[in-house]
Amino acid sequence: MSQEALRIQKISGHAGTVPGEGTQREFTVCKLIDTTTCIGCKACEVACMEWNDLPFGETVFDNTYQTMPETRWNYWNLILFNEHEREDGTLMWLMRKNQCMHCAEPGCLAACPSDGAIIQYANGIVDFQQEHCIGCGYCITGCPFNIPKFNPETKRVFKCTLCADRVGEGLEPACIKACPTGCLHFGSKDDMKFLAEGRAKQLRDHYNFPNAGVYDPQGVGGTGVIYVLHDANQPELYGGLPKDPHVPWTVKLWKGPLKWLGNVAMIGGLIGLFVHYLSFGPKDRDEEDVSAGGKKP
Amino acid sequence: MSPTGQSVPRGRILRYTLHERLNHWVAAVSYVYLLLTGLAFWSPWLFWIAVILGGAPVSRMLHPWAGLVFFGSVLYMYKLWAAQMRNTAADRAWWKAVRYYSTNQDDKMPPAGRYNAGQKFLFWGFFWSALFLLLSGVVLWFPEYISWNLRFLRYLAVLIHPAAALLTIGLFMIHLYMGLFAEHGALDSVIHGDVSETFAKRYHPAWYKEIVGGTSTPRK
């Protein structure tokens, strides 16, 4: 993979054309997370901090195997833990590596007003460009996965980059490299889907997980991170993974119909007032003494 | 503070006290800043406005503070004018005849008091919009402190804030048109405070009658 993969195909808050759109063969990268073989070792969490030089923060112990309640601006990769009691009374420890999902249609990018603060590369990676970020936090509202996190000191928002810097050089993301069980895979979206579907079929046919399946939510156009789940009908069990995530409808309404309606109304209003002035003019054309000069001596 | 509705020397009438004028301009300056920076965030085509005003991060930082100033001045306007902005039977008659007003046939209008029904509409439109802008604006100011369980507040705010702002933009355009282009003497009155007798007679005949009839009780 060359730098070609880092051509830009979507830009937030951008008025003109997009430089990389449609200039190369389709090649979308994807991370596959097999929750059924994750042991919750946190090697991916450490690798993420290592590669991205993230400062250390305090962890929060809550009697589970989870490092902290949710991701932070300086902690982009977090394994969420859930002790799930099944109908037959047995327990399951569900581990899900949580990070940016790299949506094909990102809500953060749609909500962002700043030119170039959020971009989507031709390889599908959604990346924040902090030097263009204005700190408004609209991306936080646009994201259906609760991923963008605000740094109160720098007033900028941060999240997982899918190691765009590594991927651009033909390497796999740091978390993939660190995983000891092979539950993380990285490759093209097609290959990862194939691998995931095969694993899900194996779980259904041979491991007594009749509801096993692949999580690749179409409500956001599919994601650059897909999961294999023991029970694809209940993704909520895995640390609140939304069943059918969408960009919030109010964000769509705001950036779609309301924007058009508002623009038409504002421009129409200006034209209307101008035409009114040409048609009728000021109210007091025939009465000179109404004007400010009035009866001043 | 001198009361409004009093004759002042040289045949002119005091229309706006110093407090009213000062407050108007605090609101005007803060509103124009809010409008410009808000438009920059509204559309990528207008993002350059924020660049001119010191950069988008600066605009993002100052916009909420300007909002507080604007809301403060709107609250003071409420204190000054709310009692005079009540909807009356004369206002309903005014709306029925509004087509004469908009075609400059003011002689066919029912006589207006200190504020005509259109001005009252402007006042209440700005007042309620400012309230909704404040409530949604506080949420947008600190989105990172709105917990995931309360995210519906953010979802509502991103819709309410621009919708209310658009309403004020419509009102603002008409307000500017009336004050700068349609009624000569209006801009002068909100700077120097007084209007000519002709202005008062023509646009606010009931108010004028009150003053010269001497039945006027000085307003605060």
Q: Which domain holds residue B112?
A: 13-203
B interface test, pick of A18, A78, A250 with most B CB neighbours within 10 Å: A250
pTM across the whole model: 0.90
pLDDT tens digit string along B136-192? 999 999 998 999 999 999 999 999 999 999 999 999 999 999 999 999 999 999 999
pLDDT at B169: 98
- Residue A103 DSSP SS3: strand
Query: Looking at the partner chain, which of A115, A155, A259 has a beta carbon nearest the beta carbon of B57?
Result: A155
In a domain, B8, yes or no: no
Is residue B210 in a domain? no
pLDDT for A141-181, tens place per residue?
A: 999 999 999 999 999 999 999 999 999 888 999 999 999 99
| Distance of alpha carbon B45 from alpha carbon B62, whole angstroms | 21
C-alpha separations of A242 from A87, A104, A236 in Å: 22, 16, 6
Between positions 56 and 115 of B, the ones with CB within 8 A of A are 56-57, 59-61, 102-104, 106
Cβ contacts (< 8 Å) between A155 and chain B: which residues? 57, 60-61
Mean pLDDT score of chain B, rounded to an integer? 91
Q: Which residues contact B66 (CB under 8 A, 6 or more apart)?
A: B30, B33, B34, B37
Of the partner residues A136, A265, A289, the one whose CB lies closest to the CB of residue B60? A136
Q: What is the mean pLDDT of residues B121-146?
A: 96
**Does residue B52 fall inside a structural domain?**
yes
Beta strands A149-151 and A126-128: pairing type?
A: unpaired
Which residues in chain B have Cβ-Cβ distances shorter than 8 Å to A138?
143, 158
* Amino acid letter, B183: E
Going from the N-terminus, what domains does chain A have, and what CATH number goes with each?
3-246 (3.30.70.20), 251-290 (1.20.5)
- Give me the pLDDT at residue A168, please: 87
What CATH number is attached to the domain comprising B185?
1.20.950.20
CB contact B181 to A (< 8 Å): yes
Q: What is the percent of chain B where pLDDT is above 70?
A: 92
Give the CA diameter of chain B: 65
Burial class (CB in 10 A: 0-12, 13-18, 19+), A41: middle
Task: Answer whether residue B117 is part of any domain.
Answer: yes
Residues of A within 8 A of B157 (CB-CB) are: 141
Q: How confident is the model at residue A285 (pLDDT cuts 50, 70, 90)?
A: confident
Number of domain units in chain B:
1
Contacts with A133 from chain B: Cβ below 8 Å: 57
Inter-chain contact A134–B56, Cβ cutoff 8 Å?
yes
